[in-house]
Structure 1
């Protein structure tokens, strides 16, 4: 596999086929798999995945209106004593779900902004009233 295909495979985000939108490049580093990304019980791999998830959540929180870093840190610190590999995998899966929800919220925000820009209901009502007044 050449370097370009390897990079594309690493940076791709899996989304359902029904959703046809482009993931911005700044979110491409986020791991968007349906389950935990590690199948082995190797603690070093799990540690790597937890650190990667933490960094991705911090990266995604940069565009959030309020500062999410303290809440992300608090959530990770709350579970720092967990040693069971299955429980760690479940926590990683929950964190990946949160990252997908953040990305979905960003897309919804962009869609709502576009809708407000082109389909302002208040402005449409004002235009209708203005045309009614002109016709009388």
Structure 2
């Protein structure tokens, strides 16, 4: 059981590391990620390890949400503020 948790933790680390490439360099995402993993390195209780993995999954989901929000904001800036997407006569085009 512990080896499967280890593999999950390593896969999560790799995934977070890849996600961190797009993060703002001043935030030091990779440094914080490494420190967080080193802090949890000594865990032996399977429940605690599972909690740490769940926290990592939460961080991954929040990071993905931030990227989606950033992309949405960029798309929103690309269109003029006055356009609502429809014409006055009710047709789309």
Counterpart for residue 94 of structure 1:
55
Per-residue CA shift, 1:58-102, capped at 9, x if unaligned?
011011122411110000001111100011011101100100111
Aligned to 2:41: 80
- 1:71 is aligned to 32
1 or 2 for the larger relative contact order (CA 8 Å, sep ≥6)? Answer: 2
Q: Matched residues in 2 for 1:108 and 1:56: separation?
A: 19
Q: How many angstroms apart in 2 are the aligned matches of 1:48 and 1:106?
A: 26
The one of 13, 18, 23 aligned to 1:59: 18
* Matched residue SS, 2:21: helix
C-alpha distance in 2, partners of 1:113/1:95? Answer: 27
Q: Which is greater in Rg? A: 1
Matches for 1:107-122 after TM superposition, within 5 Å: 107-120=68-81
Gaps of 5+ in 2: 83-93
Two-structure CA RMSD over aligned residues (Å) = 1.2
SS, match of residue 43 in structure 2: coil
TM-score for both structures, normalised by structure 1: 0.56
d(CA) in 2 for partners of 1:94 and 1:56? 14
Secondary structure (helix, strand or coil) at the match of 1:81 reads coil
